[in-house]
Structure 1
Amino acid sequence: MNPSSLSRRATLRELSRWAALLAAQRVAAAPDLSLPRQERPHFGADPFTLGVASGQPRPDSVILWTRLAPQPMAPRGGMPRALVALQWQVAEDEGFSRLRRSGTVWADPAQAHSVRVHADGLTPGRIWFYRFIAGNAVSPTGRTRTAPAEDAPVDRLRLVLASCQHYEQGWFIAQREIAGLDIDFVLFTGDYIYDNPCARRLRVRSHESGQHPSGQAFSLPQFRCRHAHYKLDPDLQAAHRAHPWILAWDDHEVRNDYAGLRGDDDFDLPPAEFVRVRAHAYQAYFEHLPLALDQQPGPGGMRMHDRFTWGRLAELWTLDGRQYRDVQACNEDGRYNGHLRWNCDAVSAPGRSLLGAAQRQWLQQGLAGSRRRWKLIGQSTQMSPWGLPAPDGRRLVFTDGWDGYARERAALLGFIGKQRIDDVVVLGGDVHRHVAAQLRARPGDPRSPVVASEFVATSLTSAGMPQSTMSLIRRANPDILHARSDVRGYMQLEVTERSLNCIARATDFPVLPHSRMRTLARFHVEAGRPGPQVG
């Protein structure tokens, strides 16, 4: 490792001593009981403009979400600085004649009048309907489901894999299709919003309401406004209303390619200021998505890694690839984002981590101890190698992805192989291309055994690299069995005891209001036989 890398590590250690104190400035405290209370508010306009959502499906519970915002783009969403009573209901039927659970929660201005309800005491493995009531206003009805009991035999699991929805770069027609699917949940692996506006040449929603308000987001009000802007999209609302979501995050929820406590090459923010921006972004993310109450941002950041089960059939781990990672390798002094680099030896330096030691150990222990057939890993990017070789032996790698953390990737895949953990499937996003790949114990070594399978969903709207470049990458990396970067869309997976089947759905870029989705490719993974197969 070169001296500048050591210097950056020392800087990070120093930053960590006080970064938590800065992050704590945005910690949402308990409700301020001195605030006025509105137990029976009267609204002149619909306060449920941002819709409803559910997530975190467990055998006996789900998380329910909404935010009161009659004027969603106005300060405080057009709400008073007061605690507002909000009733919630969960029923067995859409008409709410068979009410199962109900209660009241206070919408707090410190949380932008958003609420998260842990609706527990529910029967495993069934569909539920939910809604919120605030005074004279009733929310749309949401549809959700609980996971099967942990020891239950399960015939199948159906899920959608999706990521990367830049609002300015396309219409959310994929979300419209997702809303109509018969699936169990949506697995969203990052870039739910984009902190930055896009280049004018890539802007598809060209009218004023199709552009990001306020340009680049820095403050908590700006991040709240960005989330509200996305949530106003009717197709995104429909996808949330139809299915529970399980979420991982990536970089654009905060800043492009940020790493831990460092980021913002483009704005040259001092470290202390970036930590403040990150804390604002974390708070707004928590306020606008169906996350568990114990994920509220605090002095230590925000927990995003999690574990879910689907009976005896499948287990899913979601990973955080941003909060605990080391700064990208081979940057110039004062630069912290990911870059394309030729022959960057530091990407294989011992100790460099994308996940952080504690999170990787947690994952490995979970994989080794799992007794379920399928072990699914939801994380934010492509794990299989995709660098380009040069005639002189050098290799071009992108330092922000798993290629930039090669030693940790090899350790994780080597662990899976050594422990003989069967039926591991890695699910990712970020790179704006549909990918099906096989993962080897020693990545990139054709003599090494295949130990796992990988599927990466292309972006929902965000632009990808030219397909001509993607074809070069695929030819140079034979473990990539399929790669299409010229399409936008999602993947639909069906998991059974015998196989995991994947359908890649796609449309061309840019995604326009009249664009139509099509099936681009089909793959399957046979139980006990790692590596995707076509068809």
Structure 2
Amino acid sequence: MDLDNRSVPDPDAQSRRRFLQRTGGASALAVVGTTGATATAVDEDGRFERDPYSLGIASGDPLPDSVILWTRLAPNPYEADGGMPDQKVPVKWTVAETEEMRPVVDTGTVFARPEDAHSVHVDIRDLDPNTEYYYQFTAAGHRSSVGRTKTAPAPSASPEEFRFAFASCQAWYDGYYTPYAYMAEDELDLVIHLGDYIYEYGIGPDGAARDASVPQAYREEPETLDRYRLQYGLYKSDPDLRAAHASAPWLITRDDHEVDNNWADEVPQDPDEQTIEAFLERRAAAFKAYYEHMPFRPAQRPDGPDQKLYRNYTFGDLVEFNVLDTRLYRSDQACGDAFNVDECAARFSEDRTLLGDEQEAWLVDNLDASEATWDVLANQLPFASMDFLRGPEDGYRMDQWDGYVADQRTVKQAFEDYAENAVVVTGDFHSNWASEIRSAEPTGSDADENDPETVGVEFVGTSISSGGDGAEFDDFNGEREGVFGKQVVRENENVKYNNDRRGYTRCTVTPDRWTTEFRVVDYVTERGAPIRTDATFVVDEGDARLRRP
């Protein structure tokens, strides 16, 4: 069987049932069962009347000797309180060497507390480096499915290979999470999520592409903690997302839609309708709900409207990830947050920042100190410059790095000075792109053919579901002649590839080369799409250029 071009088995088939049982999945409900009123799913003796692991299990932020295990007890995921009583509940965790959960490596008990939506974040320590482990939770006699995780290699280790995938942008109402079903079967060392895990928009009564009856409680845009919790309960109830979480450890960062579209520090999307005080209250609620539903370390627990998400993870001497936050510290978008604006002088201002001074200095210091063969930015927004206008005029998108030229130039210079093999992995754009990053220029333009030196490469991954089925090329603006994606590739010498289907991006890293596969499905508005590799690119160690294998 060609594993790279196989179809999703029928959800009713025995093999599919076994797969979902193993990873905690189940068929998605055609009716989202909530009225917005509290309906406790625990009887008077403290026994669960429904599966308390409806949101699945997860692991994340792996170190050589530690990993975070997560679950949230929610027998009714479509209630803000998960159908749980207002009391703490003991949860036993077990870590073992095999999927059969024996021999046991370690076990313990933590409390799931109502103030944290009955979520638990367990820091498992004293593990062996570069080792697979399996884990399981037990609460009130109910056992979760078994999850797989893996620790990072020791800092002094020299791994022969590291395999990871990255994904982003999963609007629930735009389609099914079919790509995650395939990702779950890849047995990866790591999964990176680059943001837009949820979308903060209200959801109509018919569930749009999901064709599910969605109650009134989901109509309004989330602004409160309870409403954000409802959104996560809905999104995380998807069986394919749960399977992917249970299959490997994740590194996670947010983009904008976990809070508000295109927010920037204290500036919401619509400042005329949200005061700073109201937005900071909303941001605090969004950050808390986000933490409650992700396998984060305690350092990522928010303090009101503040949350430190930028962090650094190394995997032996092979690869080092700098996980960025490009929302919390940024200046407001220039020139009205335009998509393809020409002659925007404000984007060149040295006072404008995307990262903030502290995060930028942290990143440059990490690149300087790194001893890894491959230095990676896990980043939300396209980094390599992209001119979106046809002809001699230059048109740039103000929300991405092109709108913050000073920071873009600083990072390019750090690549040039310190990083022998710089790779940027990116989400946000709902389409696949492969680009080379040109050396630092005062204009911020990567497309200058008079300066052909490359200092890194960028892979922008498409969405899981956002935007619906997509197309082979992105016809972004119907008023344009031709097809948008082809035009951008023609206009930008450094941009080598575009595809607008849905999917995820899979990377295999060795000391000698980096291989990226763009994995796509042709539709997400129905179940069962087959998957294929649309394009593969290779980067050879010491040569920051893209080539086809």
Which residue of structure 1 aligns with residue 323 of structure 2? Answer: 318
CA distance in 2, matches of 1:480, 1:141: 42
Which residue of structure 1 aligns with residue 19 of structure 2? Answer: none
Moved more, 379-388 or 362-371: 379-388
State the shift of 1:299 in Å. 4.5
Distance 1:287 1:338, change over 3 A: farther
State the shift of 1:344 in Å. 1.1
After superposition, give the CA deviation of every residue in 1:247-295 in whole Å (9 maximum; x if it has no partner). Answer: 1110011111110111132982122111111111100000001000121
Distance 1:175 1:364, change over 3 A: same
State the shift of 1:172 in Å. 0.6
Tell me, yes or no, if structure 1 residue 456 matches structure 2 residue 454.
Answer: no
Residue type matched to 1:414 in 2? Q
CA distance in 2, matches of 1:149, 1:121: 13
Distance 1:257 1:48, change over 3 A: same
Which residue of structure 2 aligns with residue 415 of structure 1? Answer: 414
Residue type matched to 1:421 in 2? A
Residue type matched to 1:95 in 2? E
Tell me, yes or no, if structure 1 residue 47 matches structure 2 residue 56.
Answer: no
State the shift of 1:469 in Å. 1.2
Which residue of structure 1 aligns with residue 89 of structure 2? Answer: 84
State the shift of 1:374 in Å. 0.7
Tell me, yes or no, if structure 1 residue 425 matches structure 2 residue 423.
Answer: yes
Question: Is the CA contact (8 Å cut-off) linking 2:96 and 2:135 kept in structure 1?
Answer: yes
Tell me, yes or no, if structure 1 residue 483 matches structure 2 residue 488.
Answer: no
Residue type matched to 2:496 in 1? L
CA distance in 2, matches of 1:262, 1:349: 19
Find the residue that maps to 1:204 and give its secondary structure. helix
Which residue of structure 2 aligns with residue 528 of structure 1? Answer: 542
Find the residue that maps to 2:90 and give its secondary structure. strand
Find the residue that maps to 2:62 and give its secondary structure. coil
CA distance in 2, matches of 1:420, 1:488: 34
After superposition, give the CA deviation of every residue in 1:284-311 in whole Å (9 maximum; x if it has no partner). Answer: 0000010001211105600111111111
Residue type matched to 2:299 in 1? D
State the shift of 1:395 in Å. 2.6
State the shift of 1:313 in Å. 0.9
After superposition, give the CA deviation of every residue in 1:127-179 in whole Å (9 maximum; x if it has no partner). Answer: 10111111221111111111111111210100001111111111111000001
CA distance in 2, matches of 1:513, 1:262: 38
Which residue of structure 1 aligns with residue 484 of structure 2? Answer: 469
Q: TM-score by structure 1 length?
A: 0.88
Question: Is the CA contact (8 Å cut-off) linking 2:76 and 2:82 kept in structure 1?
Answer: yes
Question: Is the CA contact (8 Å cut-off) linking 1:54 and 1:63 kept in structure 2?
Answer: yes
Question: Is the CA contact (8 Å cut-off) linking 1:454 and 1:531 kept in structure 2?
Answer: no
- Aligned residues between the structures: 489
State the shift of 1:478 in Å. 1.3
CA distance in 2, matches of 1:437, 1:395: 17
CA distance in 1, matches of 2:60, 2:548: 32
State the shift of 1:71 in Å. 1.2
Which residue of structure 2 aligns with residue 376 of structure 1? Answer: 376
CA distance in 2, matches of 1:162, 1:415: 26
CA distance in 1, matches of 2:143, 2:206: 41
Question: Is the CA contact (8 Å cut-off) linking 1:167 and 1:211 kept in structure 2?
Answer: no
Question: Is the CA contact (8 Å cut-off) linking 2:202 and 2:222 kept in structure 1?
Answer: no
Find the residue that maps to 2:395 and give its secondary structure. strand
Question: Is the CA contact (8 Å cut-off) linking 1:387 and 1:403 kept in structure 2?
Answer: no
CA distance in 1, matches of 2:69, 2:298: 11
Question: How do 1:266-305 and structure 2 match up within 5 A?
Answer: 268-299=273-304, 301-305=306-310
State the shift of 1:407 in Å. 2.0
Distance 1:198 1:137, change over 3 A: closer
State the shift of 1:214 in Å. 3.1
Tell me, yes or no, if structure 1 residue 130 matches structure 2 residue 130.
Answer: no
Question: How do 1:159-170 and structure 2 match up within 5 A?
Answer: 159-170=164-175
The counterpart of 2:105, out of the listed 88, 100, 105, is 100
Question: Is the CA contact (8 Å cut-off) linking 1:58 and 1:308 kept in structure 2?
Answer: yes
Which residue of structure 2 aligns with residue 497 of structure 1? Answer: 511
Which residue of structure 1 aligns with residue 12 of structure 2? Answer: none
Distance 1:373 1:514, change over 3 A: same
CA distance in 1, matches of 2:293, 2:79: 16
Residue type matched to 1:480 in 2? V
Which residue of structure 2 aligns with residue 65 of structure 1? Answer: 70
Question: Is the CA contact (8 Å cut-off) linking 1:53 and 1:240 kept in structure 2?
Answer: yes
Moved more, 132-141 or 250-259: 132-141
Q: TM-score by structure 2 length?
A: 0.85
Distance 1:212 1:402, change over 3 A: farther
Question: Is the CA contact (8 Å cut-off) linking 1:168 and 1:210 kept in structure 2?
Answer: no
Find the residue that maps to 2:325 and give its secondary structure. coil
Question: How do 1:211-230 and structure 2 match up within 5 A?
Answer: 213-230=218-235
Residue type matched to 1:310 in 2? F
Moved more, 397-406 or 519-528: 397-406
Question: How do 1:189-208 and structure 2 match up within 5 A?
Answer: 189-197=194-202, 203-208=208-213
State the shift of 1:387 in Å. 2.3
State the shift of 1:61 in Å. 0.6
Tell me, yes or no, if structure 1 residue 342 matches structure 2 residue 342.
Answer: yes
Q: Which runs of 5+ in 1 are unaligned?
A: 1-37, 332-336
The counterpart of 1:239, out of the listed 234, 239, 244, is 244
CA distance in 2, matches of 1:230, 1:310: 30
CA distance in 1, matches of 2:153, 2:123: 17
CA distance in 1, matches of 2:543, 2:82: 52
CA distance in 2, matches of 1:185, 1:234: 19
CA distance in 2, matches of 1:323, 1:213: 26
CA distance in 2, matches of 1:311, 1:257: 36
State the shift of 1:512 in Å. 2.0
Which residue of structure 2 aligns with residue 30 of structure 1? Answer: none
Residue type matched to 2:494 in 1? D
CA distance in 2, matches of 1:296, 1:287: 9
Residue type matched to 1:528 in 2? G
Question: Is the CA contact (8 Å cut-off) linking 1:197 and 1:211 kept in structure 2?
Answer: no
